[in-house]
Amino acid sequence: MAFKLKKSRSFDSLNLTPFIDVVFFLLTYFLIASRFTEEDREMPVKLPTAMSALPMTIEPTELVINVDAKGGYVVRGEKLPIEKVASIIQQAVADNPINQMVVIRGDRNVAFQSVVAVMDLCTKLKVPAYKISTEPMEGS
C-alpha cells in the first residue's frame, strides 16, 4: 500500500535574512562589551610577583583600581585623585553592598603607601572584599 505525501511550499519561502542580521548584531554587541570589561586590566602596570598567584577572571561585581609607578590612581581608564577614588568605591558599595569586590593593581615600583591608602579606603568604606593583584613568578 503506497502513500502519497503532498509537499508543502511553506519552507520554500522562509527568509533567513532577519535571523542572520540579529545574529550579526548580537555578535557585534558582545565583542564590544567584552572589550570594555578588559580595559582596566590592560593598563601599563608592572605587577609584583608571588609564588602562589592564580590567573584572575573578572567578575561583574569587581571594581579594578590601578596604582601606577608614580602613585597615581586609575579607575575605569581615568586618572583620578584619591578623593574621587573614595567616592567611586563608596558608590560601588552602595550599589552592591554584599558582593562588591575591589581589585587593587599596584605597580611593583610604587611606594606601598599608595596601595595601603586604597586598602584603608576599602576598610573605611566597608567593602565586603578586596584583593591585591599579582603575577605568577617566572619558573614556578
- Kindly provide the residue ranges of all beta strands, DSSP E only, lying in 1-140, ordered along the sequence: 49-50, 62-67, 73-75, 78-80, 101-106, 129-132, 135-136
Look at residue 10 and tell me if it is in a domain: no
3-state class (DSSP) for residue 102: strand
Predicted TM-score of the model (pTM): 0.60
Look at residue 32 and tell me if it is in a domain: no
Q: What is the pLDDT of residues 4-58, one digit of tens each?
A: 666 666 556 677 788 889 999 898 888 777 666 566 666 677 777 776 665 555 4
3-state class (DSSP) for residue 4: coil
Q: What is the pLDDT of residues 22-37, one digit of tens each?
A: 999 898 888 777 666 5
Inter-residue contact 52 to 135 (CB < 8 Å) = no
Residue 98, domain CATH: 3.30.420.270
Give the residue numbers spanning the domain of 106. 43-136
Look at residue 2 and tell me if it is in a domain: no
Look at residue 22 and tell me if it is in a domain: no
Look at residue 59 and tell me if it is in a domain: yes
Q: How many domains does one find in the chain?
A: 1
Look at residue 86 and tell me if it is in a domain: yes
